[in-house]
Amino acid sequence: MDESAWGALQRAATKALAHAYAPYSGFAVGAAIQTKSGAVFTGCNVENASYGATICAERAAMAAAVAAGERELVALAISSKAKRPTPPCGICRQCLAELAPSLSIRSYAGSTHAQYNLSSLLPDAFGPNHLG
């Protein structure tokens, strides 16, 4: 991923952020995933009155990619209005590791970003290979 590709992914994530449904936490998140074909899939968090039913932005973006027949995830951009970049939550780490255990991730907040690799965020992940 070069800088211009990251820039496009950041813009896609920030566009999705505007659609976040977060009436309970007030914490809006947008996400954009680029797949191997070059396509970009977006998601936002979708909260629920039954709080535990909330879907995070990252998982929503992953589901959109899979629903379009794309499973080779190359990069993920996360966008929020937080003071500092937010890493993906534990549930999202596990979900993303199913398809892309070494996914390249950037999280953007204001003019700053943090960069992660999923293999560092979720070392020794349980995955399909453990099922035998």
Please report where in the chains the tokens 């399909």 appear, as a residue: 128
Beta bridge pairs of residue 41: 33
Residue (58 or 70) nearer to ligand THU, CB: 58
Does 27 sit near ligand THU (CB under 6 A)? yes
Backbone angles phi, psi at 106, to 5 degrees: -125, 135
Which range, of 51-59, 62-70, 95-103, 115-123, touches ligand THU by CB under 6 A?
A: 51-59
52-77: b (≥16 Cβ within 10 Å) or e = eebbbbbbbbbebbbeeebeebbbbb
Please state, in angstroms and rounded to a whole number, the distance separating the CA atoms of residues 98 and 109: 26
Tally Cβ neighbours within 10 Å of residue 19.
Answer: 15
Does 18 sit near ligand THU (CB under 6 A)? no
- Kindly state the smallest distance separating residue 85's Cβ from ligand THU, in Å: 11
- Kindly state the smallest distance separating residue 32's Cβ from ligand THU, in Å: 13
Interaction residues for ligand THU, span 52-111 (CB under 6 A): 54, 56-58, 86, 88-89, 92
Residue in 58, 70, 72, 98 annotated catalytic: 58
Task: State the catalytic residues.
Answer: 58
Binding site for ligand THU (CB under 6 A): 22, 25, 27, 29, 45, 47, 54, 56-58, 86, 88-89, 92
